[in-house]
Amino acid sequence: MKFGLFGAATAQRSNNPDVDSSAGFRDYIDYVIEAETLGYESVFIVEHHFTGFGQVSATLNLLTWIGAKTSTIRLGTAVLVLPWHNPVLLAEQAATVDLLSGGRLDFGVGKGYRHNEYEGFRIPMEEGQARFEESIDIITKSWVSNERFDFRGKFWSYDGIVVEPPTIQRPHPPFWQGAGHPDSIRRVAARGHHLLLDQFASIDETVRRFNIYRDAMIANGFGFNPLQVGVARAFFVADSEAEKDAAIERRMVAQKRLHDISQRPDRNNTASIMAFSDTREANEEATLFGTPDEIIAKIQRLRDQGVEYILLNGGGTSRENLRRFASEVMPAFKGVAQRRAAE
């Protein structure tokens, strides 16, 4: 079984010259460097804009810096929101990260779900899916074409281009898509892309989505590898019920902030990631919060249904949390994938 990280750095906005706005980013980079030494497989970093609380906006820039300071951990985006980018420029930037990192890029993409971001870019949210699909076509063509090509689309057109540099991974870095609705999951599988499942859905709902993807991949002739699905989960290794309760309360506050900045004016945001329940019981069910034994039991429930790859969001950069998970939880699943393959 494999465990990676999912999340973001934050930079404090301040007019105070005594405040180091880069401290949060540097702390996150050091956190990822230590994660590599502890045996974590990957780091997937978000892209967000206009939050007011300093989330990562230039994801590939941050991953380039992390890639230069690490040697084995895979460098993922979760997700780059394609409707906001010139797809050819993005293909060039991503290829550069793949080249410089020695082929460690996992290219996670999505159409976005936060209304305030679409509004800030003055892009109609209703165009999101069409822009997203066209961008994937352009980026894929850019990476697999060795000769110059033209492209005519609804949103983007190009004449006589060839994207440089080439990627190391062939035919290109793996695409990962965030999706939750059944039809969206089937669109991911129709392209043979890998799947990212959000951290808010219950275990039962996560397994249902996992199975939809597995069945669609097989039906489309791609076969299925459980490591093609990354399941995001918040994690906190607690010593007591009180510590776990406090972690759940912090998470619920963060959920409310996410909901408030993401919602449409008509309060009708139908994105699957917005469908979470804000009750304490739902948060306890959907997270890996608790003692090591409690966390192991939850992961076992996922593993019993075929899940082999979990992406952990610590809600911060606690080294103690990172180390305890690596030393007290991960050993319970070492060699699990190999044993299952041999059965």
Q: Residue 158 is part of a domain; what is its CATH number?
A: 3.20.20.30
Distance CA 232, CA 205 (A): 13
Task: Identify the sign of the CA torsion 327, 329, 246, 34.
Answer: positive
Adjacent-strand bridge partners of 196: 178, 230
In sequence order, which residues have a C-beta less than 8 Å from that of residue 97 and are 6 or more positions away? 60, 63, 64, 67, 75, 105
pLDDT of res. 146:
94
State the total domains in the chain.
1
What does the pLDDT profile of the chain (343 residues) look like in tens digits?
999 999 999 888 766 776 788 999 999 999 999 999 999 999 999 999 998 877 899 999 999 999 999 999 999 999 999 999 999 999 999 999 999 999 999 999 999 999 999 999 999 999 999 999 999 999 999 999 999 999 999 999 999 999 999 999 999 999 999 999 999 999 999 999 999 999 999 999 999 999 999 999 999 999 999 999 999 999 999 999 999 999 999 888 877 777 777 667 776 666 656 566 668 888 889 999 999 999 999 999 999 999 999 999 998 999 999 999 999 999 999 864 444 433 4
The angle, 0 to 180 degrees and rounded to 10, between the axes of the packed helices 128-144 and 87-100 is 50
pLDDT of res. 340:
44
**Does the pTM exceed 0.75?**
yes
**Boundaries of domain holding 28:** 2-342
* CA distances, 97 to each of 59, 90, 145, 208 (Å): 11, 11, 18, 34
Q: In angstroms, how far is the first alpha carbon of the chain from the final one?
A: 15
pLDDT of res. 215:
98
Distance CA 230, CA 253 (A): 25
In sequence order, which residues have a C-beta less than 8 Å from that of residue 148 and are 6 or more positions away? 160, 161, 162
